[in-house]
Amino acid sequence: MNAAAFAAFAPFTLLGVVTIAVMLLIAVRRNHHLAALSTIAGLLLCCIALPLAAPAAPIAVTPLFVVDGSVIFYAGLVLGSALVVAILSYAYLGGPEQGPREEYYLLLLTATLGAALLPASVHFASFFLGLETLSISLLGLIAYASPREESAEAGIKYLILGGASSAFLLFGMALIYADLGTMSFTQIGVLTRAGNPHDLFRLVGTAMILTGVGFKLSLVPFHMWTPDIYEGAPAPVTAFIAVVSKIAVFSVILRYFILADGQAGASLRAGLSMIAILSMLGGNLLALMQNNVKRLLAYSSIAHLGYLLVAFLAGGALGNEAAAYYLAAYAVTSLGAFGIVAQLSTPGAGRDADRMEDYHGLFRTRPFLAGSLALMLLSLAGLPPTMGFIGKFYLVASGVGAGLFWPVAALVLGSVIGIYYYLRVLVAMAMPVPAARSAAPPATAPLFGNVVIGVLLALLLMLGTYPAPAIALIRLTAGAVAG
């Protein structure tokens, strides 16, 4: 590895060093505050180092990793989101009733390391190792640091279904390797263009990879795990699953299909269009029936990944820009929504604030959090003046430009359906305060948690009313994918 490659890969190396340092720190002294602050400081350093290490041109660090503008953008989203989750976790796990909490941050760092490496992966080996590092760490996070039986149940479900999806993914990779004799994304693209486009091994292998990725992205019909896991996991971990893991997996599959020429096949495009339509309509229709806020947001996330597939199918410069902006908007909004759920929760009581009645009278008792949640939900619905509106406008523009009229129609219809169930939460927050809660003293949320929510809210509104800086950054970084 030459000096330029080492410098470009330095933020990822730093993240590995931070992970080891926190592990040694826990071994020497068990202290929740010290472990949390070390994790937050380490992630903040990585966020600062990432743009400083951005290369002027794509650099192949090893045959497994390439660092270019898109890697800087997507890894930045991963690291920034993980930093927010770490701060929210510190507030969420602050009570003494939580028991040992230090290893939670170690699992959070290892999951972030796996997720941050995925955007840079250009080889099946790095793809699978990064994904499994993320998935195995998530398994521990889902069931960790919570006295609820639902968390242990969610961890077992994720273990079984995650193992099945990894098996599909690995067998699909094996079939493509057996057919082409390479695991490099770029070489797969070269050999695909030179060979038979209807080769059975490659088609079946691609279908199995999509099955595994469909589970990780919770796309229909691979979505059934999502509401149970979202409901059972602690609220900050739910935010991590909804945002960090989705960004990481989408970024690597986008790179794979661009470099391996996977989007050129008509049958594959038809299949992905059907999955996108089913995800958009199915996620929104299922969310209509939910009275649990975390389950409602889980089904909503299924629909949002379906929306994102419109930009994926559109491809080209506009499609890549639309996907990058929508992922940024989705990250800010989902982190804010789940962060507010975490702020309202009392983990020692054995459950999160996820029932609809928990939000009754919130505009009166917690006006800042209620107002923030209202704007986050309006952004998820795609209404101005939020990032969600600009993101959906971008998606529609890219879809129409590529002639994807059925997926765009499903996007518009799904967005209309979504407005109804988002408004249900707003109506609940405007209802009278329950008598039991009105007699209790007003609750207070940790200050730093509220600060994070405030920063996310400011980003949501600033980039929703003036998106030019974000669009310029995306065009500078994520507009093209190198191999």
Question: How big is the chain, counted in residues?
Answer: 483
Q: DSSP H helical segments within 144-199, as ranges?
A: 149-180, 185-194
Contacts of 325 (CB under 8 A, 6+ apart): 387, 390, 391, 394, 467, 470, 471, 474
Query: Does 245 score more than 70 pLDDT?
Result: yes
Query: Does 397 score more than 80 pLDDT?
Result: yes
In this prediction, what percent of the chain has a pLDDT beyond 70? 92
The DSSP bridge partners found for residue 66 are 60
Task: Identify whether the C-beta of residue 262 lies closer than 8 Å to the C-beta of residue 268.
Answer: yes
Of the candidate ranges 6-10, 216-220, 259-263, 378-382, the one whose mean pLDDT is the lowest: 259-263
Can you tell me the mean pLDDT for 400-407? 90
72-103 pLDDT tens trace: 999 999 999 999 999 999 888 875 555 678 88
pLDDT reported for residue 437: 59
Handedness of CA 220, 224, 229, 235 (dihedral sign): positive
Query: Does 251 score more than 80 pLDDT?
Result: yes
Task: Identify whether the C-beta of residue 283 lies closer than 8 Å to the C-beta of residue 418.
Answer: no
Give Cα separations from 447 to 42, 90, 477 (angstroms). Answer: 21, 11, 34
pLDDT reported for residue 196: 67
Query: Does 453 score more than 90 pLDDT?
Result: yes
Which position has the token pair 């794509």?
Answer: 58
Secondary structure of the chain: what % helix, strand, coil (to 5)?
80, 5, 20
If you average pLDDT over every residue of the chain, what do you get? 87
Query: Does 236 score more than 60 pLDDT?
Result: yes
Question: Can you read off the two tokens belonging to residue 314?
Answer: 């559109």
Domain locations in the chain as residue ranges: 3-481
Would you put residue 68 in left (φ > 0), alpha (ψ -120 to 50) or beta?
A: beta
9-34 pLDDT tens trace: 889 999 999 999 999 999 998 888 89
Query: Does 443 score more than 60 pLDDT?
Result: no
Can you tell me the mean pLDDT for 256-260? 86
pLDDT reported for residue 481: 60
Query: Does 263 score more than 80 pLDDT?
Result: no
188-200 pLDDT tens trace: 888 887 776 667 8
pTM to 2 decimal places: 0.93
61-72 pLDDT tens trace: 888 999 988 999
Can you tell me the mean pLDDT for 148-163? 83
Which has more confidence, 265 or 476? Answer: 476
pLDDT reported for residue 450: 87
pLDDT level of residue 435 (50, 70, 90 thresholds): low
In this prediction, what percent of the chain has a pLDDT beyond 90? 55
Query: Does 141 score more than 70 pLDDT?
Result: yes
Which has more confidence, 108 or 145? Answer: 108
pLDDT reported for residue 445: 58
**Residue 301: which of 280, 321, 320 has the closest Cα?**
280
Give Cα separations from 374 to 218, 340, 371, 383 (angstroms). Answer: 25, 11, 5, 11
- Any idea what the Cα angle at residue 238 is, between residues 236 and 242, rounded to 5°? 120
Which amino acid belongs to residue 233? A
Spatial distance between the Cα atoms of 272 and 211, rounded to a whole number of angstroms: 11
pLDDT reported for residue 439: 45
Would you put residue 432 in left (φ > 0), alpha (ψ -120 to 50) or beta?
A: beta
Query: Does 353 score more than 50 pLDDT?
Result: yes
Spatial distance between the Cα atoms of 307 and 394, rounded to a whole number of angstroms: 11
Q: Map 233-278 to HEC letters.
A: CCHHHHHHHHHHHHHHHHHHHHHHHHHCCHHHCHHHHHHHHHHHHH
pLDDT reported for residue 95: 59
